[in-house]
């Protein structure tokens, strides 16, 4: 009887995710570990996706529930999803909800009449629609919005100008630095994995082959830079996507087939970042850019486009070039290729320091519990 009363009184956090594809499994982990040393237990619910043991383990939660809705079933009013989530909310002593992206935020807020909810925004333009602005204003009393970067936060604030700034804050995406570094393989092993020469000077890129990632500019910039790069320079692109054939045709048209390697999809690609001499991100539109933090953890110098989030993350620790500027990229690569061992070490240390201070689990846990959660709960009590 005593144990039943204790279980009923145990405070819980509901974490609601659209699915666990792409980076969102790790996003679930990031928010679950915020409560690792707290009195809360975490229940993570995935609206889409079949039950999966690897997802259960990777979610780092006390309980994981798969609702297994199809994408079609969570369009429109999402009544079935709201009903199922309402049942879950009634089953536990939930103190707050964390919802990733707009659909889960919508479902979470409508499934409960009083549960304080944090809506995490991972991309730009989420609240540009008038209907979403009206939704946010109506439920403002128990809703707090987080951007995964200052750039995303500012975008949301622009869309919701009547909101007080403390109700729209930043909590960076982050990594478990020690765990990631423990998983990383050596430079030699990483290069054997990719099948590239041990002595090559390697520019690495990891991401979907998609217009937002702009590997077109990356390839053109690399081709421009080749005369100024070490003789054994290679470009290694990790990822798949709809532009795969187009990018391969571009490489052929530039006559650099022997200098560019398409590695395809690689599970847990961050394990192999030691293969790179420089990490290059050419994204034209990036809400955060987790690969930049992963490159910092690997101690790899960074060249990044001067996109909103790219500038925010890389400023003072890497080299920036204007978005879609192949010549600017070529110059940044050339400068990186000329770094001495001492200069590379200094950049690696600067990146690691910023990683620990801004993009680590420890940094996020302090900011969340000291600066974000009190605002949410205080406002919900009014």
Measure the CA angle with vertex 174, ends 176 and 182; round to 5°. Answer: 25
DSSP classification of residue 256 = -
pLDDT band for position 89 (cuts 50, 70, 90): very high
Can you give the pLDDT at residue 35?
Answer: 96
Residue 354, pLDDT score: 94
pLDDT for residue 3 is more than 50: no
Q: Answer yes or no: do 308 and 208 share one domain.
A: yes
State how beta strands 41-48 and 319-321 pair.
unpaired
Phi, psi of 208 (to 5 degrees): -60, 145
Residue % of the chain over a pLDDT of 90? 85
> Does residue 165 sit in the same domain as residue 240?
no
Res. 5 pLDDT band, cuts 50 70 90? very low
CATH code, domain carrying 65: 3.40.50.2000
Q: Are residues 155 and 265 in the same domain?
A: no
Q: Read out DSSP for 46-77?
A: EEES---HHHHHHTT-SEEEEEEE-TGGGSTT
Question: Is there a single domain that holds both residue 284 and residue 365?
Answer: no
Same domain for 146 and 238, yes or no, is: no
The confidence score (pLDDT) of residue 11 equals 95
Residues 370 and 272 in one domain: no
One domain for residues 338 and 201: yes
Q: Tell whether 317 and 342 lie within a shared domain.
A: yes
Mean pLDDT of 77-91: 94
Torsion of CA 87, 39, 113, 27, to 10 degrees: -80
- Close Cβ partners of 342 (under 8 Å, ≥ 6 residues apart): none
Res 1: pLDDT:
37
In this model, does residue 6 exceed pLDDT 50? no
Residue 279 has pLDDT above 70, yes or no: yes
Nearest-angstrom CA–CA distance, 15 and 211: 31
Task: Give the model confidence (pLDDT) of 293-352 as tens digits.
Answer: 999 999 999 999 998 888 889 988 999 999 999 999 999 999 999 999 999 999 999 999
Count of structural domains within the chain: 2
Chain segment 110-136, per-residue pLDDT in tens = 999 899 999 999 999 999 999 999 999
pLDDT tier at 376 (50, 70, 90 boundaries)? Answer: confident
Show the domain range for 107. Answer: 2-174+360-381
List, in sequence order, every residue forming a beta bridge with 170; answer none if it has no partner: 147
In the predicted model, what is the mean pLDDT of the chain?
93
- What are 361's two structure tokens? 């689990």
Each residue's pLDDT tens digit, 45-83: 999 999 999 999 999 999 999 999 998 888 887 899 999
202 has which bridge partners? 234
Q: Give yes or no: residues 123 and 229 share one domain.
A: no
pLDDT at 71: 84
Backbone angles phi and psi of 134, in degrees to 5: -65, -40
Is 165 in the same domain as 293?
no
Task: State the average pLDDT over residues 232-251.
Answer: 96
The answer to whether residues 53 and 194 belong to one domain is no
The answer to whether the CB of 320 falls within 8 A of the CB of 292 is no
C-alpha span between 152 and 205 (Å, rounded): 23
Average pLDDT over residues 140-158: 95
126 and 236 belong to one structural domain: no
H helices within 92-184, ranges in order?
Answer: 102-111, 130-138, 150-159, 177-183
Query: Is the pLDDT score of 381 beyond 60?
Result: no
pLDDT tens digits, 211-237:
999 999 999 999 999 999 999 999 999
Query: With 0-12 CB in 10 A as exposed, 13-18 as middle and 19+ as buried, what is 52?
Result: middle
Distance of CA 203 to the CA centre of its chain: 22
What's the pLDDT at 382? 54
Burial class (CB in 10 A: 0-12, 13-18, 19+), 277: buried
Q: Taking the model in full, what pTM does it have?
A: 0.87
């Amino acid at each position: 009887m005593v144990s039943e009363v204790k279980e009923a009184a145990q405070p819980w956090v509901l974490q609601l995710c659209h699915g666990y594809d792409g980076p969102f499994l790790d996003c679930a982990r990031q928010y679950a570990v915020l409560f690792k040393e707290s009195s809360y237990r975490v229940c993570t619910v995935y609206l889409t996706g079949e039950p999966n043991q690897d997802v259960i383990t990777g979610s780092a939660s006390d309980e994981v529930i798969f609702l297994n809705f199809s994408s079609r079933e969570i369009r429109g009013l999402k009544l079935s999803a709201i009903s199922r989530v309402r049942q879950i909310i009634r089953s536990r002593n939930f103190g707050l909800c964390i919802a990733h992206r707009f659909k889960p935020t919508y479902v979470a807020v409508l499934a409960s009449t009083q549960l304080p909810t944090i809506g995490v925004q991972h991309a730009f333009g989420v609240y540009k629609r008038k209907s979403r602005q009206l939704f946010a204003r109506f439920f403002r009393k128990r809703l707090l919005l987080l951007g995964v970067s200052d750039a995303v936060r500012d975008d949301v604030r622009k869309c919701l100008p009547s909101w007080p700034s403390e109700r729209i804050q930043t909590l960076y995406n982050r990594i478990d630095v020690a765990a990631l570094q423990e998983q990383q393989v050596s430079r030699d092993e990483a290069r054997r994995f990719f099948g590239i020469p041990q002595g090559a000077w390697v520019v690495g890129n990891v991401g979907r082959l998609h217009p937002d990632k702009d590997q077109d500019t990356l390839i053109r910039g690399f081709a421009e830079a080749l005369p100024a790069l070490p003789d054994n320079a290679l470009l290694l692109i990790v990822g798949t996507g709809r532009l795969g054939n187009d990018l391969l045709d571009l490489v052929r048209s530039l006559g650099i087939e022997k200098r560019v390697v398409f590695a395809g999809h690689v599970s847990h690609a961050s394990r192999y970042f030691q293969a790179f001499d420089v990490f290059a991100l050419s994204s034209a539109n990036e809400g955060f850019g987790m690969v930049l933090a992963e490159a910092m953890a690997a101690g790899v110098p960074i060249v990044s486009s001067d996109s909103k989030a790219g500038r925010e993350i890389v400023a003072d620790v890497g080299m920036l070039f204007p978005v879609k500027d192949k010549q600017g990229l070529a110059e940044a690569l050339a400068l990186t290729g000329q770094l001495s061992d001492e200069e590379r070490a200094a950049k690696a240390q600067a990146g690691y320091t910023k990683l620990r201070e801004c993009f680590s689990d420890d940094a996020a846990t302090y900011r969340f519990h000291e600066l974000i959660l009190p605002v949410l709960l205080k406002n919900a009590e009014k």
